[in-house]
Chain A
């Protein structure tokens, strides 16, 4: 009995170390928390078209499509870096609906940006005050979400997309 109590510290040390080792090996970024919206239905928000004030879509109406939502802004430098990759994704996945949401930006800056650098999006929504981003738990740009055919959010990526991320993570889910 005594020896058991005496061995407690070592047992605890081993258990804790195993958890820490597993955590370390998973290489998680402490600055990137897992999304709270995973496996939840896409928020039923309305989006006004960037290019046409009268055109509106409701996200819950986009049924039976795989959707990639990309939050971006004209003032966001990393967004410009990932921009060309969005065209690639579109090419590799012609059935994918790519939705861009212009977050906390000025309309004509965004329009100029897309005219200059090209528009890979099937639809660009306006999120001037950031309220749409709030519904998605966005706190930095760029952020990218993947939605499956049943309308559930299955993946979130924080930061500019890279070829590696696209091949290793996104393609698997599409």
Chain B
């Protein structure tokens, strides 16, 4: 009974959240794609956008005549930021709706819960977030970068002469697999550079935590101790990010005193904040809204037009990396399906080798036959007054992803 109630509740919530749940299909026999992004709970503000961007990409492809002669139909759901529910909804999509591919998950804990489901059903999950690596499933396409091509370049930058010559590190994360694994790898990395263990501190908070006074006090006293420049490596997620930033600024700490490297911090987290006091804090992603180039301009214009046309309840002027990654993943899937001439997962997977796609970031995404990782460019962004990020540094080209970290 519980099972049924819960499921019908999800359906009801999804209906309420997205009035146009299922678009009317106009091809006789459309191919279905499923989305696993929450529109309620702590991740709603971030994940909710990805449903719409997947639809936008599908609309683009449908406008060109679809894939293999068939139109795409996008199914959305609401796993309500409840990690086991992602697996449940994912199983339903694969077994009942027979979706050709899943696009979903933000936190690694939700991906880990969907992983056995896609492996048992030989499905395909496109995961649009940069993450901790150390995983290589043939059923997951890792659209974004593992630490070696996102976190480590940013930490290197901060430790180097161009950054602040950081010597000491205060790690604050939400208490789950992504922050803990990232921090473990960072500690291994610092050890390999001969940095003593006394130079870092590690603190974790529960999901949705918002009372950061004590932690900011601790950061300030950590930073005032001798031993070199301190930085904060922030791996909290969801609504904890703006709450931490607000407390940090209110206690009068600026980026030039103690810079924050916000690994999950995106443009959307700055909505609602007065960023004048936060200027200079950093993030690192495979795409920033400030990326130069015509492709980005076109994407931003398309999104704004889409928001307007479909009355999407999100900002038309804010585009974040996972949105672009989700958009890329639909296109990559379509390219692979077209190349394979089939929607069957094994054949689509075969077609990933040597696939490439020019995405809005300005880099060319490529895949090899070795694994399901996608090579992406690296951006380091710096918070500006207008609740956005300026591009502080970007890699010359897209590095080859390293799935397993040697540091932890």
Do these two chains really belong together in a complex? no
A interface, CB within 8 angstroms of B: none
B interface, CB within 8 angstroms of A: none
